[in-house]
Amino acid sequence: METTDPASNAAATSDVLWAAAFDKIGRDYRMLLEHFARVLRELGEDRLAGCVDLVLRDPAPGEPPLAAPGSTRELQVLSIAFQLLNLVEENTAAQMRRAREALPSERGEPGLWRYNLEELRRAGHTPDRIAAALRDVHVEPVLTAHPTEAKRPTVLALHRQLYLHLVSLENRMWTHAEREEIHREIRETLERLWRTGETYLEKPDVLSELENALHYLREVFPAALGKVDQRLDQAWEALGWGSPLVAAREARPRLGFGTWVGGDRDGHPLVTPEVTRSTLARLRSEARIVLERQLEQLAARLTLSAHLQPVPEALTARIEELAALIPAPERDAAARHAGEPWRQAALLLRARVAADGYTMREELSADLQLLDDTLVAVGARRLARGSVQPVQRVFDTFGLHLASLDLRQNSAFHDRAMEQILAASGVAEEGYSRWNEEMRLAFLEEELLSRRPFLPRRAELGEEARSVLGALAVVAEHWEKHGGEGVGSYIVSMTRDVSDLLVVYLFQREVGLVQSTPEGLRCLLPVVPLFETVGDLRRSPAVLRGFLAHPVTARSLPRARSGEPVVQLMVGYSDSNKDGGIVAAQWGLNRAQSELAEAAREAGALPRFFHGRGGTTSRGAGPLHRFLGALAHGSLAGGFRMTEQGETVAQNYANLITCTYNLELLLSGVTAATLRHAGPPSPLDAELAPAMEALAAASTRAYRELIEAPGFIDYYSHATPIDALEHSTIGSRPARRTSRRTLEDLRAIPWVFSWNQSRHYLPGWYGLGSGLAHLEREQPSLFASLMEKGRLWPFLRNVLYNVETSLASASLEIAGEYAALVPDEAVRAAIHGRIEDEWRLAGAMIDRVFHRSRAERRPRMIRTVALRDAGLRRLHTHQVGLLRAWRAARSAGDEKGAAELLPPLLLSINAIASGERTTG
């Protein structure tokens, strides 16, 4: 009698589904390309229509990649073709998730509620324990305006329309005529996309970038929130646990949103105090729109008649009070529903929200709770749960502020500001920036004993002091009117010492962002260190201990729901990578988080980490469930913040289905990881730490030897389009922190962006191969331990998985075309040869760790990369020609010729970014 192996069956089913997925991608992609070609032919662009399929085939021998170097329309064709492929892949991924979840034997998608709850149950966690943990989870994605989104908001809106058309075609109930109408709408949308300029004609201002963030906060996230809650309920019930434990909104994990747009002024002179003021006001006005919609829908659902159930006196009294506060037209409109008192009350709430009648969230919260309580009082508990509580849940999440605005500034900028303040107040003539840490701490200790500000009224200040104090004064105004809702934290970039944090308390004292307590001064705005470089991460535990030991910090820390003080700690994934390479950065971040969490707990505070992840593996990106599973043990105590930067915002949240999936990954993943972190750590954490320490050191040496090698800067300047990127209009932020043209001054985003554009992908993998080879040669016992158990360790598995993705995305052949632009032949040969050797070594070493080749382990990833290969090859070859011609024109002083070549060059950057699905 034959037996059936469940694991084999599951693998076979997975293979069938993946084969179906690639077939579907091919069909849907071909359909969209045919529509695109038809649109072009109907517009009289027969030649361009013939270019549409170039994205699918390699050039024939002798065939040029595209037309003349200065052309833009062929570039636009390929760029749009890749954008269509991205949409098809996104929809196919969503449909495959649905197919897998429909299988009776499936536990669900890795990282989602059903999967994680089942994993927790298998690990011995009871429903009661899981429910208790859910209450303490607080997740906050933070939208930033980092300049890695190459597409205009108008183009993104057209992408959303096309995606919805693809989803509509999944419905098998349409008639032939109805499906033809959808196809007609696809062609109409494609024509609009074709006629819409892809690149910014000039750099967007900050408030334009805010508009893009507001779209997600207003239009997408509120709708996704209810669906994520619904999926938690369904997963809970599927496990046979019933729903009461998670039925109340207080029992659900909390979700909030933050933003840096309009508050992040680190190296961004356009983020003025007035921009911050406008941003705070705009966030509140958009929050009112969200609430008005919610209350309007609620009013339509609360049609309970006063003749069919008693009306509680509390509701009647509140209706009278609200009516007296509302202008006559809205009051009279609500009065037409006097026979439906709950509906009338909801309409009055909507009118008061629209008139900005609520200044503090507690007022509206109480009114919503009254609706809930009075429904329950008349026995309509189901209606309260199904109608009022979802609105309360939205209000809990978005409040009257929509998203919390963080402020960020660099520690060196603060030094200059403090120096100017002291000079203007006559306190000290010697420059503060030249004081050592001991002098600074002594000065700060004495000053923080007093509430007295430094400056007389109308004191003359330097630019830095005006900027810092002006921004904090805006926050003080907001706080006085609305309390702390809507204001996040003050983040200090490049935190090196305790004084870098304590000095912000003096700035807050200067503008009145303080309270007096019997124990002394308390600052209202939380101050958050941002540890970025490898060296700063190493020193961070000592800095945190000094910061938490200060009495002003102890008095100023916010409190968790449990009442415990919370210290927020931001770690940067970009500068640490640029500083020491990906292996040292990942290990330094892991060790720092572990030690920072321990230091926080020693001081009696809960650590809440804020992860400054970017959109590429070299800047912390990668599959979210793997990232959460690899976090340092003990670093998660229920609170989790994470930046969403550039193109990742659109990729993760542009469409409701994808948005719901990614928010569920966040909430479910943080919940599961929090429970794991509450238990004992994996033995592998301690067992493999010495090997990882040695590997990080060896890989850093290899990485630093490359970037410090003679001629490296010359190679980088010519073999990547970094000079073109610095002319781009992608975002409002400058590419460099200052005007100095050094590698240290270059931001991490253009550093990564330029290597990706030239298909080196170097920051995502360089150093790993040499590090492992050094370990095998010099410390064979440590190497043997990694070979034996490394693939079982979530941390190292995540690092290797992400490095391998970068290796697969790189192309030695295409990188060689860019290297040919380096004029010095000796430099070209030396640097490119070293890069080629390291690429091959890294791939071979990863295969050895996993005991199988990449082709055996990750065939789907390889096939996904191959889908884009032909079109990208054309684009890269064309861009190399554009770069050569543009640079020659600039060198010859031909400004007119260079200016004519710049638009197609920038469009080639956009097109390649679309094809790679990443920028920086």
- Which of 421, 415, 408, 406 lies closest to 511 in space, CA to CA? 421
Buried/exposed 208-236: b ≥16 CB within 10 Å, e otherwise: ebbebbbbbbbebbbebbebbbebbeebb
Residue showing tokens 């037209």: 329
Tell me whether residue 541 is exposed, middle or buried, using C-beta atoms within 10 angstroms of its C-beta: 0 to 12, 13 to 18, 19 or more.
buried
602: tokens are: 């020693």
What letter represents residue 3's amino acid? T
Task: Report helix angle 895-916 to 869-891, nearest 10.
Answer: 160
Active site residues: 146, 578
Phi/psi class of residue 486: alpha, beta or left (left: φ > 0; alpha: ψ in -120 to 50)?
left
Query: Between β-strands 520-523 and 514-517, what pairing exists: parallel, antiparallel or unpaired?
Result: antiparallel
Residue showing tokens 């850093």: 700
- Which of 631, 585, 584, 582 lies closest to 609 in space, CA to CA? 631
Query: Between β-strands 520-523 and 606-612, what pairing exists: parallel, antiparallel or unpaired?
Result: unpaired
Assign 3-class secondary structure to 195-250: HCCCCCCCCCCHHHHHHHHHHHHHHHHHHHHHHHHHHHHHHHHHCCCCCHHHHCHH
Residue 601 CA to residue 266 CA, distance in Å, equals: 30
Residue 26 CA to residue 444 CA, distance in Å, equals: 64
- Considering only CA atoms, give the Rg of the chain: 29
Residue 598 CA to residue 613 CA, distance in Å, equals: 22
Dihedral sign of CA atoms 226, 227, 232, 235 in order: positive
* DSSP type of residue 60: P
Dihedral sign of CA atoms 452, 457, 462, 468 in order: positive
What letter represents residue 392's amino acid? Q
> Where is 819: in which H helix or E strand?
helix 812-819
Q: How distant is the alpha carbon of residue 395 from its chain centre?
A: 23
616: tokens are: 């590429």
Distance from the first to the final alpha carbon of the chain = 57
Phi/psi class of residue 620: alpha, beta or left (left: φ > 0; alpha: ψ in -120 to 50)?
left
Buried/exposed 623-647: b ≥16 CB within 10 Å, e otherwise: ebbbbbbbbbbbbbbbbbbbbbbbb
> Where is 596: in which H helix or E strand?
helix 582-602
- Quickly count: other Cβ atoms within 10 Å of residue 776's Cβ: 16
Phi/psi class of residue 767: alpha, beta or left (left: φ > 0; alpha: ψ in -120 to 50)?
left
Q: What angle do CA 474, 480, 481 make, to 5 degrees?
A: 95
Residue 684 CA to residue 619 CA, distance in Å, equals: 25
User: What are the φ/ψ torsions at residue 654 (nearest 5 degrees)?
Assistant: -65, -35
Q: How distant is the alpha carbon of residue 134 from its chain centre?
A: 23
What letter represents residue 512's amino acid? G
> Where is 321: in which H helix or E strand?
helix 313-325
Collapsing DSSP to helix, strand or coil, 516 comes out as strand
- Which of 801, 569, 636 lies closest to 138 in space, CA to CA? 636
Task: Report helix angle 328-335 to 313-325, nearest 10.
Answer: 150
Residues facing 492 on adjacent strands: 409, 529
